[in-house]
């Protein structure tokens, strides 16, 4: 084993190209957040980054790809920073509270405004659609992990399909964030509804053995009927 005499090695210094890419992705985020997707031109982004317009195309190929890269970075950074908040949630109600705190943080950071523009552009732009899909999938993965941990030992975990529930909760969180920009009371109303789901799940864990068996049996029957209805006709 080699030793360095107790001197902690410093982090590698980013290259000029890496620094330029960072400035461009940050500038793209700021332009889309503050001016909207329609104004996300190479000229505006380059001016925001104080670099040559040609560098947008040199490093990213297209403006769409640059904005997509900014979206990917914004989401991964947000998840890394806020993962501990989700990890602290031990019940569905606490998960809802964590989601509300995340929504408030996203609005103050400008992430909500940025993603609203990306999702609007995604309706007509394949690159933005792919970026929005990646963002939603990353958040959904976090929700799946939290749900598995929270519901794993309770009745709710046996009754609820986490893989199906996660997209619903993710959509609720995202929709609440976007709706909150139009109606400031929407997040509070949505949180109350989601909290009632958490309270219902907690109540399930308090049921006795016999009611739990009856409930599980009923859920299995409902799932079988639903599966038969949605399965493609054979033959």
Report the half-sphere exposure of 117 (CA within 13 A, side-chain side): 22
Neighbour tally for 217: CB within 10 Å: 10
Condensed to tens digits (0 to 9), the pLDDT of residues 155-199 reads: 666 666 777 777 877 877 777 777 777 777 776 777 777 677 667
At 75, is the pLDDT very low, low, confident or very high (cuts 50, 70, 90)? very high
- Domains of the chain: total: 1
How would residue 122 be classed by pLDDT, with cut points 50, 70 and 90?
very high
pTM score, whole prediction: 0.75
Does any domain span residue 124? Answer: yes
Mean pLDDT of 99-106: 79
Q: Is 55 in contact with 20 (CB distance < 8 Å)?
A: yes
* Calpha distance 186→189 (Å, rounded): 5
121 domain-assigned: yes
Q: Is residue 36 part of a domain?
A: no
Domain that holds residue 193: 71-226
208-228 tens-digit pLDDT: 777 767 776 776 776 677 677
Reported as a single tens digit per residue, the pLDDT across 37-73 is: 999 999 999 999 999 999 999 999 999 999 999 999 9
Q: pLDDT band at residue 89, thresholds of 50, 70 and 90?
A: confident
Paired tokens of 72: 């990917």
Is 32 inside any structural domain? Answer: no
Residue 37 lies in a domain: no
Contact 173, 139 (CB under 8 A): yes
Q: Residue 53: inside a domain, yes or no?
A: no
- Identify whether 103 is part of a domain: yes
pLDDT band at 2 (very low <50, low <70, confident <90, very high): very low
Take residue 160 and report the two structure tokens written for it: 């609820």
Nearest to 139 by CA among 108, 175, 193, 180: 175
Domain presence at residue 79? yes
């Amino acid at each position: 084993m080699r030793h360095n005499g107790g001197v902690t090695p410093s982090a590698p210094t980013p290259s000029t190209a890496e620094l330029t890419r960072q400035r461009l992705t940050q500038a793209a985020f700021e332009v889309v957040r503050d001016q909207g997707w329609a104004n996300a031109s190479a000229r505006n982004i380059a001016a925001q980054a104080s670099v040559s317009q040609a560098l947008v195309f040199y490093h990213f190929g297209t403006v769409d790809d640059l904005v997509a890269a900014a979206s990917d970075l914004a989401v991964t950074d947000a998840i890394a920073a806020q993962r501990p908040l989700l990890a602290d949630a031990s019940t569905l109600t606490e998960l809802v509270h964590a989601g509300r705190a995340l929504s408030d943080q996203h609005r103050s950071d400008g992430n909500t405004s940025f993603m609203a523009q990306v999702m609007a552009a995604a309706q007509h732009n394949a690159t933005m659609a792919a970026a929005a899909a990646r963002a939603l999938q990353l958040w959904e993965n976090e929700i799946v992990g939290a749900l598995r941990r929270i519901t794993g030992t309770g009745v709710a975990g046996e009754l609820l399909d986490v893989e199906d529930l996660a997209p619903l909760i993710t959509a609720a969180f995202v929709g609440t964030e976007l709706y909150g920009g139009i109606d400031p009371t929407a997040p509070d109303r949505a949180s109350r509804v989601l909290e009632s789901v958490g309270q219902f799940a907690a109540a399930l864990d308090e049921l006795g053995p016999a009611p739990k068996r009856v409930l599980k049996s009923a859920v299995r029957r409902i799932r079988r009927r639903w599966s038969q209805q949605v399965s493609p006709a054979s033959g």
